[in-house]
Amino acid sequence: MISAVYPGSFDPMTLGHLDVIRRASKMFDHLTVSVLDNKAKNALFSVEERVSILEEATRELPNVEVDSFNGLLIDYARQKDIHISVRGLRAITDFEYELQIAQTNRKLSDGKLDTVFLTTSLEYAYLSSSSVKEIASFHGDISQCVPAFVAKLVYEKYGRIDE
């Protein structure tokens, strides 16, 4: 059985993340989407909220599990006996950063954790959690960026109650 982990901040999960999750879930027998509990980042949603959003969004994907972790990804992956990390590449600007993380993880894990990159579907290539938050903070339209139930939760954070 081949298992993989898709780690990230998911603050909040976007349609781009969901696209990567759907595609990765077809490639591996089991996919753990894991929210990084990064205290250094000032997150809009708590880890519990982010987990619950991901659970709701992946409800119809039976081989997808949602979890959270803190500390190093290689330690978490070792505990779960997972040897593949999935990451998304939107544009060349993601590449340098992602390459560095992937190389570091492979080195630190003595080759036990490798990274598989999925390129973004073009319609989501421009999407990022930060831009979703910025647009929503000015009460702009994020309906093309996140599922409807997530848009509602994001607007609630910024004091806009949508009908």
Query: Would you tell me which residues interact with ligand ADP (CB under 6 A)?
Result: 8-10, 14, 16-17, 20, 87-88, 90, 94, 120, 124, 127-129
What is the CB-side half-sphere exposure of residue 15 using CA atoms within 13 A?
Answer: 17
| Smaller CB separation from ligand ADP, 77 or 127 | 127
Q: How far is the CB of 17 from ligand ADP (least distance, A)?
A: 5
| Smaller CB separation from ligand ADP, 109 or 146 | 146
85 included as an active-site residue: no
Residue pair 53/12 in contact by the 8 Å Cβ criterion: yes
Q: Which residue is nearest to ligand ADP (CB)?
A: 16
| Smaller CB separation from ligand ADP, 1 or 40 | 40
Six-digit token string for 78:
């070792």
90 included as an active-site residue: yes
Helices assigned H by DSSP within the chain: 15-27, 47-57, 73-80, 92-108, 129-137, 148-157
Q: How far is the CB of 124 from ligand ADP (least distance, A)?
A: 4
Q: How far is the CB of 7 from ligand ADP (least distance, A)?
A: 7
Those residues whose C-beta lies under 8 Å from the C-beta of residue 94, and which sit 6 or more positions away, are 88
129 included as an active-site residue: yes
Q: What is the DSSP string of 80-115?
A: HT--EEEEEE-SHHHHHHHHHHHHHHHHHTTTS-EE
30 included as an active-site residue: no
| Smaller CB separation from ligand ADP, 16 or 142 | 16
Please tell me the distance from the alpha carbon of residue 53 to that of residue 105, in angstroms, as a whole number. Answer: 27
Q: How far is the CB of 140 from ligand ADP (least distance, A)?
A: 17
Catalytic residues: 17, 41, 90, 129
